[in-house]
Structure 1
Amino acid sequence: MGARLPLKSHIKLTGHRRKMNDSTGTKGAHNATDFYRADPVMDRRIHVMGVGNVGKLVAHALRGIPNPPPVTLIFSKWDMMTKWSESPRRLTVVTDGDAEIREGFDAEIAIPRLRYHHKEVGLNASSAVSVGGSSKGPPQQALAGESTEPISSLIICSKAPFVLQGLSSVKHRLDKNSVILFLQNGMGIAEEVSKEIFPDPVTRPHYMLGINSHGVNNTSGELFTTTHAGFGTISLGILPHERDRDPNIPYEPDTRFTSVKNSGPIRSKVVPLDELNPEYPPPMTAKFHWTPNQRYLLRTILRAPVLGASSFSPPDLLQMQLEKLAVNCIVNPLTVLLDARNGALLYNYALTRTMRLLLSEISLVIRTLPELQYIPNVQSRFDPGRLETIVVGVANKTKDNISSMLADTRVGRQTEIDYINGWIVKRGEELGLRCLMNYMLMQMVKGKAGMISREVGEGVPFVQDGRGGDVELKDMVARKKDEENSDEQ
């Protein structure tokens, strides 16, 4: 074994190496440790809104890492808050029959604000408490019993239709330095939040997006227990904030993806080349910077091995979102209309024809999106044939599962169809493309969900023939069991 260097020599050597690195043109490359230690956060607490299966898995995983952060669960109903207070106050995740229990969670109540016609309904003056709000707008209000402590890091695991209602209940606790992570199916949620909840870019929090592929389902009779049925990943990305962008730098195509005749990627003579990737010149300066809260939340989630999280650039994450969206546009609504498991879509010529008609519209809209025009291989990546291969692969892999949209429809809950097929229809209209197949499918799913919701509200199940058809009690019981055992799509 070699002799150790004295501490002073080690310090001198380290400084010498740093100077050498600077002289070799890698001054812009930051050490990972220095990057994460820079600008430490003032508040390590992470709030989790939406304590469903995904929310329980995420909160449970965060409390399992070394030096875990304080985790606060935000409940939306008083009865759930009461049951939590009367319970041992711990979350359990069952994996392959083994239950892992974790404690140390805090809990708060935040009643979702009702919204009608895209407008928030005001609170009852007798039950509302005024809290400090933005100087540019009216003072915010909180219900009695709700916390008014600021939130630095918020993970939203609620279903897409309930994100606006949930954020309305805590918007007075978020400021321009806060960061919000969205973990929902579908697309267009962050844009809707900016429009409806945080219209002012000056006071708008920072956003992060996540794509979850873990399979989790309910455990019968256990409110605070979830079963981790299928291991997956969580793909994370930070959305650039227009407030942090240099206004003097216009949007422009990445020179790395600009083709020139008889040459590969363009090299810059001004910028020193990266030794690890000499063919790709590094940017002169970052057009966006990461805030301390963004760095903290990202690295904290990456530290949780159970979540299998990884981070991606905004263009890469967008393409991954669109691939998952294409799958959900086919599997979710078709299984709702067929009232069948995912495997029913396989080996059926009529359904394959329907699938191809839908994918032709989806592919055309995605390949026409202006935000993808400077990214290479978009045309081939989102080709209808390739998307069909992905859809069939997912349906075959999850053939025994019930899609989350079907599970919601069976019990009369609101579905995420507006953020899946509805997003394709909306973007298609903006681009001058009429997506008739997706529009029809969206309306049929809404119609069936509304029909079942009315039946559930009127005291169905029927035990005899009626105007709406023959619905037996045993069928409803079987469907309830299927819903409890369904995996997240």
Structure 2
Amino acid sequence: MLGWKRSSPSPSASPSFSSKYRSVYKSRHGDQRKMKLEHVSVTPKAITGDDNSHIDQLLVAGPGHDAVEALQSVKHRIDKDTTVCLMTDGLGVLEEVRQRIFRGTESRPSFLLGHMSHRLAFNRGQDSVRELRFGETRLTFGDFGRDVEKTETRMNFVKTLQGVKDLNSSLTPLDKWLHFKLPSVILDSVVEPVCVLLEIPYGGLLRNPAAQRMMHRLLAEIVSVVDAMPELEGSAAIRDFIRGNRIKQLIYSRIMARRSVSTVELERQIQNGLPTDVDYLNGFFIRRGHELGVQLPTNMMMRDMIKAKHSLAIEKLNSYVPVEETSVPSHLSFRYRTLPASHRGKLM
């Protein structure tokens, strides 16, 4: 969590540290806000270990595919009095968590869904976090507000997050929260898979009509699913977003912003054999489309192609034979190579 305190706007003001998070702070010099990083020494500690203490409030962030494993490791410390905030990438993570971890259990926790537009960077060398762009954090009830009995515990968690001023948190209805998160989900479901499939950077999409037609088909299928979701029926915010040219203009602006980036994140994950979130992007809309009777053939093909490339990349990585260098460099041979016995006496 970020916990720095804002310093005064005067040019000569010194950085203001949070008493709890000393690895992150900001200072202002003139009209430009600059960030500084301070090294923090933290002893690695397992998330579970022998700790069986109860967890009242838990925030799970990061890729969607990591959420189940993270919650499974602390399941014994969670019960009906726990509130879990899922601030993960993609959509459909909550449904998987309930299905795989808390299905049929009476001690299942209550859930919040979160999403932030802050742009952060982690410095692995210094164990520090840097905020590249200030944004906002929006929260919504995971059960769409139907579980009235657990409203108080969830509101306590919301107030806790709102107490961290730099998070700029607010509680919103589901449709407005989804309107806030959909742009990033659609970008990752429509743009990145096409880049990976055609092996072109973001800028290449602007010069490739076939790639643009593929993106339009992916987008049209996703929009048809969102438009049919019963929990969003009657939402003016969603209707205005998915209809007309606003969503296409958004995708175009995001591509333009990344046109100088040579590496697509999804391609990097596949090449290194890392897990992807395709099941929480295109896969989420495919599952909802199946429930609603909406066909998504292009998204199904794209999901299967991404998984196929991922499998091939893992096979290729596993086929490499590790080689250990044991030969001695020529300029060091005099230190390690012994002379024949017949020559040793001559040097004595």
Does the 8 A contact of 2:205 with 2:212 survive in 1? yes
The answer to whether the aligner puts 1:333 opposite 2:204 as a matched pair is no
Of the candidates 81, 99, 106, which is equivalent to residue 36 of structure 2? 99
Identify unmatched segments of 5+ residues in structure 1. 1-58, 72-89, 112-144, 246-287, 463-489
Q: Which residue of structure 2 aligns with residue 233 of structure 1?
A: 136
Identify unmatched segments of 5+ residues in structure 2. 7-15, 28-32, 324-348
Deviations 1:207-226 (A, max 9, x none): 1111132333453x616234
Select between 179-188 and 342-351 the one with higher mean Cα deviation: 342-351
Does the 8 A contact of 1:363 with 1:382 survive in 2? yes
SS of the aligned residue for 2:249 comes to: helix
What's the offset of the Cα at 1:157? Answer: 1.4
Q: Which residue of structure 2 aligns with residue 153 of structure 1?
A: 57
SS of the aligned residue for 1:157 comes to: strand
Distance 1:236 1:378, change over 3 A: closer
CA distance in 1, matches of 2:19, 2:99: 31
Deviations 1:38-68 (A, max 9, x none): xxxxxxxxxxxxxxxxxxxxx2x13659998
CA distance in 2, matches of 1:403, 1:216: 18
CA distance in 2, matches of 1:392, 1:211: 22
Does the 8 A contact of 1:202 with 1:243 survive in 2? no
SS of the aligned residue for 1:211 comes to: strand
**Where is the helix percentage greater, Structure 1 or Structure 2?**
2
CA distance in 2, matches of 1:321, 1:170: 27
Match runs of 1:202-241 below 5 Å: 202-219=106-123, 222=125, 224-240=127-143
CA distance in 2, matches of 1:62, 1:414: 30
Query: Which residue identity lines up with residue 297 of structure 1 in the other structure?
Result: F
Does the 8 A contact of 2:118 with 2:135 survive in 1? yes
What's the offset of the Cα at 1:243? Answer: 7.8
Q: Which residue of structure 2 aligns with residue 264 of structure 1?
A: none
SS of the aligned residue for 2:36 comes to: strand
Q: Which residue of structure 2 aligns with residue 354 of structure 1?
A: 214
What's the offset of the Cα at 1:155? Answer: 1.0
Distance 1:405 1:320, change over 3 A: same
The answer to whether the aligner puts 1:290 opposite 2:193 as a matched pair is no
Q: Which residue of structure 2 aligns with residue 397 of structure 1?
A: 257
Q: What is the aligned-residue identity percentage?
A: 24
Distance 1:311 1:425, change over 3 A: same
CA distance in 2, matches of 1:369, 1:212: 23
Deviations 1:53-111 (A, max 9, x none): xxxxxx2x13659998989xxxxxxxxxxxxxxxxxx7457997742338697864147
What's the offset of the Cα at 1:384? Answer: 6.3
CA distance in 1, matches of 2:70, 2:136: 25
CA distance in 2, matches of 1:358, 1:307: 33
Q: Which residue of structure 1 aligns with residue 3 of structure 2?
A: 62
Deviations 1:292-327 (A, max 9, x none): 3x2333223223343333331223213333343222
Does the 8 A contact of 1:70 with 1:105 survive in 2? no
Does the 8 A contact of 2:63 with 2:277 survive in 1? yes
Distance 1:377 1:236, change over 3 A: closer
Does the 8 A contact of 2:37 with 2:129 survive in 1? no
Does the 8 A contact of 2:269 with 2:275 survive in 1? yes
What's the offset of the Cα at 1:418? Answer: 0.4
Deviations 1:318-358 (A, max 9, x none): 33333432222112212322444433333432222111111
Q: Which residue of structure 2 aligns with residue 422 of structure 1?
A: 283
CA distance in 2, matches of 1:423, 1:449: 18
What's the offset of the Cα at 1:242? Answer: 7.8
Query: Which residue identity lines up with residue 349 of structure 1 in the other structure?
Result: P
CA distance in 2, matches of 1:461, 1:332: 32
Does the 8 A contact of 2:225 with 2:285 survive in 1? yes
Q: Which residue of structure 2 aligns with residue 262 of structure 1?
A: none
Does the 8 A contact of 1:331 with 1:403 survive in 2? no
What's the offset of the Cα at 1:397? Answer: 2.5
Distance 1:94 1:200, change over 3 A: farther
Q: Which residue of structure 2 aligns with residue 443 of structure 1?
A: 304
What's the offset of the Cα at 1:415? Answer: 0.2
The answer to whether the aligner puts 1:182 opposite 2:182 as a matched pair is no
Match runs of 1:19-418 below 5 Å: 59=1, 61-62=2-3, 91=23, 98-101=35-38, 108-110=45-47, 145-200=49-104, 202-219=106-123, 222=125, 224-240=127-143, 244-245=147-148, 290-292=151-153, 294-376=154-236, 378-383=238-243, 385-401=245-261, 402-418=263-279
Distance 1:406 1:196, change over 3 A: same
Select between 446-455 and 408-417 the one with higher mean Cα deviation: 446-455
CA distance in 1, matches of 2:197, 2:321: 20
SS of the aligned residue for 2:236 comes to: coil
SS of the aligned residue for 2:38 comes to: strand
Does the 8 A contact of 1:236 with 1:310 survive in 2? yes
Does the 8 A contact of 1:110 with 1:146 survive in 2? no
CA distance in 1, matches of 2:258, 2:134: 13
Does the 8 A contact of 1:93 with 1:228 survive in 2? no
Distance 1:432 1:387, change over 3 A: same
Query: Which residue identity lines up with residue 185 of structure 1 in the other structure?
Result: D
CA distance in 2, matches of 1:359, 1:168: 34
Of the candidates 316, 336, 343, which is equivalent to residue 455 of structure 1? 316
